């Protein structure tokens, strides 16, 4: 079931249940989409205002990018559900099956793919929000700060869905490569999101 087609209330109810999905990965994707949309909102409230005519072309181009990011992040809610299915099935394979370890290893790597992609998308969103916060309407700058906070939370949440899987990988080189990639994004973009939040807060 594509939970993005359900109501917000329904999504939260299913999230709180014992259903295997949506889980942290899907929630991270949704929060990332919401954060991106908040940044995009600043753009919408900037375009068409004489005061911001000098940056309008840049803002419009950024809105197009964020439209695509929002869609891609929402798509990851269902993709995370689908990506978890092979892993769930692999855990059900009898332990005496000689193919179990190989199947489980492959499924675990697969389960890392969507949350890693969510992280990448959130990084792009934070870059965009930095511009909205700097050049967008001052009347909506709080929304840019909210967007940065949401995208940071989504980035961190998605990373945990990577790390819980890499921990169980037997191929430690693969695990280390995935961990390094995730940690690099955290190290760069969590401080950037914090900087955006601090700059926005300083306006008040």
As a whole-number percent, the residues of the chain with pLDDT over 70 amount to: 100
pLDDT band at 20 (very low <50, low <70, confident <90, very high): confident
| Domain housing 156 | 21-201
pLDDT band at 21 (very low <50, low <70, confident <90, very high): confident
Number of domains in the chain: 1
CATH code of the domain containing 156? 1.20.120.680
Residue 52 in any domain: the answer is yes
Whole-prediction pTM value? Answer: 0.95
Whether residue 1 has pLDDT greater than 70 = no
pLDDT in tens, 150-166: 999 999 999 999 999 99
Residue 178 in any domain: the answer is yes
Residue 5 in any domain: the answer is no
Residue 6 in any domain: the answer is no
Residue 32 in any domain: the answer is yes
Q: Say how far apart CA 156 and CA 38 lie, in whole Å.
A: 18
pLDDT in tens, 72-106: 999 999 999 999 888 989 999 999 999 999 999 99
Residue 107 in any domain: the answer is yes
Residue 7 in any domain: the answer is no
Compute φ and ψ for 136, nearest 5 degrees.
Answer: -80, 180
CA angle 65, 59, 126 (to 5 degrees): 55
Residue 155 in any domain: the answer is yes
Contact 162, 178 (CB under 8 A): yes
Mean pLDDT of the chain: 96
DSSP, collapsed to helix, strand or coil, labels residue 98 as: coil
Q: What is the mean pLDDT of residues 17-44?
A: 95
């Amino acid at each position: 079931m594509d939970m993005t087609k359900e109501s917000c209330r329904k999504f939260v109810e299913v999230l709180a249940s014992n259903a295997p999905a949506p889980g942290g990965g899907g929630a991270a994707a949704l929060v990332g989409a919401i954060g991106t949309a908040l940044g995009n909102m600043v753009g919408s409230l900037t375009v068409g205002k004489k005061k911001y005519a000098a940056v309008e072309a840049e803002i419009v181009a950024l809105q197009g990018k964020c439209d695509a990011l929002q869609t891609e992040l929402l798509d990851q809610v269902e993709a995370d559900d689908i990506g978890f299915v092979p892993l769930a099935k692999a855990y059900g394979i009898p332990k005496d099956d000689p193919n179990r370890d190989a199947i489980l290893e492959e499924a675990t790597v697969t389960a890392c793919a969507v949350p890693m992609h969510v992280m990448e998308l959130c990084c792009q969103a934070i870059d965009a929000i930095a511009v909205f916060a700097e050049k967008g309407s001052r009347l909506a700058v709080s929304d840019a700060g909210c967007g940065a906070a949401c995208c940071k939370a989504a980035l961190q949440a998605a990373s945990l869905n990577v790390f819980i899987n890499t921990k169980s990988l037997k191929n430690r080189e693969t695990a280390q490569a995935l961990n390094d990639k995730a940690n690099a994004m955290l190290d760069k973009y969590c401080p950037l999101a914090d900087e955006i939040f601090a700059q926005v807060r300083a306006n008040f």
